[in-house]
Amino acid sequence: MPELHFFIEREPSPVGEMLIVTDEQDQLRALDWHDYEERFLLLVRRQYPGHHIEFHEATQRSTATPALQAYFKGDLNAVDQLITATGGTEFQREVWQALREIPAGETLSYGELSQRIGRPKAVRAVGMANGANPISIVVPCHRVIGANRSLTGYGGGLDRKRWLLQHEQTLSPTIPQSGRLPGF
């Protein structure tokens, strides 16, 4: 069974401690939140069937960490050039690539995303791939919303999704608790 060695950095952010996972080539493999760590590690392992994954605490900073810090300080494009590597299926990787093409400050519905990848009837499959995204923020699944423009599921929780969209100035400062985006 092939072995993969991943390195975990724990980094504070305005929305909680991030878990940043890179490989031996400093490619970003995963990013999630400390309060979802158990689920996160399981999802990462599922991305690489047939591999034995060793997780190690990082002894040095990856290139992802300063880019993420810059993102949180307001440079919303600081993460755009990070090199990522993911497992998953070919379809999932296609959806994740399309997510990276959604600019900061914009949102799409699942239906609009499925149209973008040329699979208009694959809305549910796009939603499932979006939910399996292992690299939060950099592969911006938080920018995908419901067809009725409401906030929908986010692996890091709707409060984080709301915060990230406000940070990117996609939402107004006052968001109703219903999760509906104002002005749509």
The helix/strand/coil state of 181 is coil
Rounded Cα–Cα distance for residues 128 and 126 (Å)? 5
Tokens of 46: 């599922």
141 catalytic per annotation: yes
| Catalytic residue selected from 141, 144, 151, 165 | 141
Token look-up 């599922």 returns 46
Contacts 24+ apart (CB under 8 A), 16-23: 16/160, 18/68, 20/58, 20/62, 20/64, 20/65, 20/68, 21/55, 22/58, 22/62, 22/64, 23/85
Of 141, 139, 137, nearest in space to 16 by CA: 137
Residues involved in catalysis: 141
